Structure 1
Amino acid sequence: MKNPLNLLLACLLCSSFMFAQDALDGKVFRIKAVSEKANGRCLDADAGTLGRNGTKIQLWDCHSAAGPNQDWLFEKVGDNTYLIKSQVSPTNVIALDAHAAEMNTNGGKVQLWTTHGGANQQWLVKPNGNGTYRISSVAPKAGGRSLDADSHNGMNGTKVQLWSQNGNPVQSWALIESRNGRPVQAATNVAEGKTATQSTTAYNSPASNAVNGNTSGRYSRSASSNDITHTSDANGSWWQVDLGEVYDIEKIVIWNRTDDCCWDRLQNFYVTAWAFPIAGNIKEGYGTSGPHSFTSGSHPSMTINTEFVGRYIRVWLDNDTKPLSLAEVQVFGVPIRK
């Protein structure tokens, strides 16, 4: 006779498997680009052509307030396969659609169309392994082509198209759960205690001092009471933190030195965020903000508001042989859905 307890456990496990909630199904997301030129811009239904079939899909700066043309409802129709419905309609009657006549061509149009649930409105959403996703058409005619941000652009209005899968960042997308146009989860400082590095180290002032939670900004010859980072005098000095995973970054707060000698060194600096390792100091693209400068020693912090998506955050000086010295770097972000 079978053990009743074993039968009960088996039943419970079976039920858990059958009714496990899909991570995406029924949720609303903002879909953000993570490519070099378009980092942080949102998948956007062109407001100028809303209300009719064929509405253009593009990249645009993410709205700071509610913007239903940047909110997308995922509705599961199969294994890792979804209809992606625009929230510009309260009844979810329009969906992301691969243009039937162009889906077999690189550069094929992606648009909004009345929901019919056909293969050209079904999208395979697969994780890339770093927290981002690849979104591909399941229509046989599309040959597995993926949502792709035109790599020649990156500005507002960048074309979102179908393109053969190539593994490039232009085909990687971050999904940030949204409610009324804003992330569901509150942003917190995700940099403290993470691994930090810098181009060089001088005056016994390691990179880790900028992620230790101390914003006092004073230098001391004693390592136990020294609260700053410091590089040597070198061209293009930089400091960087690895957040450990990809985040939707709301703001970055830079804390400067507060001792009288050196607060004014932090001039013409840039901040870069990217989902992939940063190979160098790059002014354009990769989620770069700047130049920024501190203008007073009495205001030790600067807040840089962003819509970037990134794992690696770099603060750097451009063609300047001054040392880079920081008190603290706080990165306020929300983990992107995995």
Structure 2
Amino acid sequence: MRQSTSTVKLLNIAILFVASLAISMVVCNGQDLTRADLLSCSSNCSHVIDLIHRYGVNQTCDTAGDRQWITHSAFGPAIIPASEAGDLSIASVHQIADIENGCGPKFAVVISNCSTRCVEGFSVTVVGTLGQIHCFSPCTTVKVDKIHPNESLQVEVTLPIEALAMGNRNGQVIGFQRLIVAIDSFDEFVETDEANNLKAFCASTLPILEVQATVTTEVTQTQEQVSQTAPVDNASVSIQENQTLETTQPLTAQPAGQPNVTQSSQAVQTDESADALQTAWRQLNTETATAEVASDG
């Protein structure tokens, strides 16, 4: 009875040790996470709604202007001039024509960095809406590594496939009707103009970006290269055929300038038969002459 009680106590201690170890590992891993890491993979677009409330859409709120910001530092308040803050803006938005199977619509967002500093680790969020935006509208957030000063960068963002079926009208499936694009969507950087970070578009008026033009050009160049190299290939084929014909001559052929063995043997046989015929003719003439002399005597 005492042994079983001690065994149960040891087992409980082991379970508590494993549980405490697992909890400590989770806490340690959670300390490395930030708000952007937690929200960038979420389908909640409340952060975009907050930006709309503060800055509006399509420059409805004029937040640009030469002003200064006061920030707190270890040495007290510090003034940030507008020239040092810089500005990120949406240059253009296009819808990519090709849609991969099982994926939603894809968009190409061109971002401009109108500042003297490199901006790193900012977020870009795209939201599809059917009517008004709400927290659970289909959205996608991607993170941009960096954009250099006075540089434009194209970022491709794909909406979830749920954006293609957001409503039902008389039995017909309806997709998203509006697209909202937000750069620096978590409002992590101070900019001279925050209003140009948000733009809204009607889905039917978005320009289409064709990506098949480069493929067609490459195919045309390939065909031209093949047509240019075709005569060379035909010449090489003809040379190979001539070489094949030359090497397929009969093995019994004799080189030029040397007598044929068969012809020489036939010539020797002809000469021998001619000599034998002449000898027989001489003998016959001799016998005839002898016979005439004997008859005269």
Fold-level similarity (TM above 0.5): no
Between structure 1 and structure 2, the one with the greater Rg is 2
Which protein is richer in helix relative to its size?
A: 2
TM-score normalised by the chain length of structure 2: 0.26
TM-score normalised by the chain length of structure 1: 0.23
Which protein is richer in strand relative to its size?
A: 1
